[in-house]
Structure 1
């Protein structure tokens, strides 16, 4: 089947799903969300909850990891990615300082050790203990190739193995538009073994490798391929072990992926304020892929999708809800009856009680 026919069929199926969900409570659920304002920082990209269920914790633009300590206390500093950084970095939202201050993106606690693992865009894979402080660097390269844009991670809670992505071997985070415009396909999916302290490359050649999420039974790991608008599934166990396949084709650019307690996956769709969307569409058209006008309009409207373990669409979140707009969504994390919604550019996190 040609790419045109595949995308046309996908558009029909997805639009049918939208028409069924449009008037549902689920589709409009974020009408009354709560904003949790940050102080002197922006970009709560990702969330994590510790081994006591406290949090969320999130990384922000100046390299700090913050912990939400409740409505009365707000956000407090838990960890930093670099020592002796305060005068230069605290409160910074300057992309030109990111390589100095760090930019923590993916976060996840190992629930057995209570250590927090951090995918920092510039400093690689880091870890910090349960009491916080300055993070320690674990890995900065794989197979002799340095990380350029460490992005997202997830942890196998049985083995402690960390699965993470490097979006490009050429472009750093501040150059992300170049990675998209050039059609760069050098992203990698990797794993870090805390026992051997070795990094293994599982898959090369991923177009802007982004979000990562393990299945509930740890039989496969999902990785977002942002510029192809799809999710890949890399099998870890079973007859397809060590092979990859397309898990889902999406109506927008996938960012982070987070699994909920039911084994379902929330996928944030992030257009980068339109920049990501326009560049992606140009690349797809150059490759001979044709999108319908309806499917292009969906790129502006869908903030996130919930998928089951087979890639079936279960729920849609709109970016505009009752006049309140969610911009540049990077993650949706479902935890204990609350949806936590992050953004790499906004000065607040969003919380909505399910």
Structure 2
């Protein structure tokens, strides 16, 4: 990425840093998909980053949150073990309630959860909708004024460990939903989404954004005003968007899992192609390669409140930083997480 300072390591480990990014968390750790670098006043350490790991944990520099009692076993601590995800949980979205200090968690297998400011075992809030269990809870944002949570369910047909099948099959069962903390009721706001992913509210809460990963778009649902209830395309992107995070200026950082490959549009536009590929004896890496554009590397895009592209950051060499899933801006730094790489990185602006 451009305009960065010389690299340093926050924690010594076997990771080799690129010339553009500072990295933390050693190679033995499970990779963080999401992080939250700003803790509210009631949380124990306001300056500490909090991250969700593939082993089903949330971790800060001073604390630990468990999503399932089965975490006490040893097997769940193996990094990158998709076959254990349904046992361990897979936290994909983290948000703090600034009024209470509670940490809300969107877990791919355990649904919407919450844990108190002091950590501990998470409490399940939403496990099913319309009588059916949530299969792929993904991300969320909190409206503290209305006491509601907006969250996504990526698919009603596929689990997180089957995410490649969801994309290649042309699955459009994703949903954007609203959870009312007072009534504990869930309302479905949008249906038929192609891999519903990251969620972010605007500064004035007049609209909420949701990333539609398969189509490489950011959608906008108007919550208030003359367009309330209507949705439109907020931005079209050159790659597959993951999480969306708003900064203090009301701008949005979008993390791209990767750019689109030469075959991506053809495969995604023709579902029979993707379904045919899934029937072939191809490995995950081979299928992934067909969708990824060029050499895997990090790309982050900053959008204005109107969906205009303000800035693009790329680590084109991709030596250490690839497949990023979230960019969180705080105090002149960009904290960066990845769904597939074992690190937390930060970039000095």
User: Which TM bucket (shorter chain)?
Assistant: 0.7 to 0.9
Q: Which position in structure 1 is the counterpart of 2:274? A: none
The whole-number CA distance in structure 2 between the counterparts of 1:298 and 1:308 is 27
What is the distance in 2 between the residues matched to 1:174 and 1:263? 33
1:142 aligns with 2:99: no
- Distance in 1 between residues matched to 2:204 and 2:269, nearest whole Å: 38
Aligned partner (choices 104, 120, 126) of residue 117 of structure 1: 104
Tell me: CA distance 1:130–1:39, structure 2 relative to 1, closer, same or farther (3 Å): farther
Match of 2:72 in 1: 86
State how 1:49-64 maps to structure 2 within 5 Å. 49-52=38-41, 53-64=46-57
Residue 266 of structure 2 aligns with which residue? 282
Answer yes or no: is 1:307 the counterpart of 2:295.
no
2:333 maps to 1:345: no
Q: Displacement of 1:218 after TM fit? A: 0.3
Could you tell me which residue of structure 2 aligns to residue 333 of structure 1?
328
Task: Indicate conservation of the 8 Å contact 1:307/1:315, yes or no.
Answer: yes
Q: 1:41 to 1:302 in 2, by over 3 A?
A: closer
CA contact (8 A) 1:41 1:93 kept: no
More divergent stretch after superposition (79-88 vs 167-176): 79-88
User: Which of 10, 22, 39 is residue 34 of structure 1 equivalent to?
Assistant: 22
Q: Which residue of 2 aligns with 1:7?
A: none
Residue 17 of structure 1 is matched in structure 2 by: none
Bigger proportion of residues as helix: 1
Task: Give the drift of 1:44.
Answer: 0.8
**CA distance in 1 between partners of 2:114 and 2:179 (Å):** 12
Structure 2 gap ranges (5+):
8-17, 272-291
Q: Deviations over 1:308-351 (max 9, x none)?
A: 00000000011326x74421110111012210011011111001
Equivalenced residue count is 312
Any idea what SS the aligned residue of 2:242 has? strand
The 5 Å alignment of 1:1-354 reads 25=3, 31-38=19-26, 40-48=28-36, 49-52=38-41, 53-67=46-60, 69=61, 76-87=62-73, 88-271=75-258, 277=261, 280-286=264-270, 303-320=299-316, 324-354=319-349
Q: Distance in 2 between matches of 1:240 and 1:259?
A: 21
**Separation (CA, whole Å) in 2 of partners of 1:143 and 1:240:** 27
Contact 1:305 1:314 in 2 (8 A): yes
Secondary structure of 1:117's counterpart equals strand
Cα separation, 2, equivalents of 1:334 and 1:123: 28
Cα deviation digits, residues 65-96 of structure 1 (max 9, x gap)? 110x3xxxxxx542010114222312442100
Q: Please list every run of 5 or more consecutive structure 1 residues that lacks an aligned counterpart in the other structure.
A: 1-21, 70-75, 288-295
Query: Helix, strand or coil for the counterpart of 1:85?
Result: helix
Q: 1:118 to 1:313 in 2, by over 3 A?
A: same
Inter-CA distance 198–39: structure 2 relative to 1 (3 Å threshold): farther
TM-score (norm 2): 0.83
Query: Partners in 2 of 1:352 and 1:129 — Cα distance?
Result: 30
Question: TM-score scaled by structure 1?
Answer: 0.82
2:31 and 2:79 in contact (8 A); partners too: no
Q: Please, what is the CA RMSD of the aligned residues? A: 2.5
Deviates more, 1:133-142 or 1:82-91: 82-91
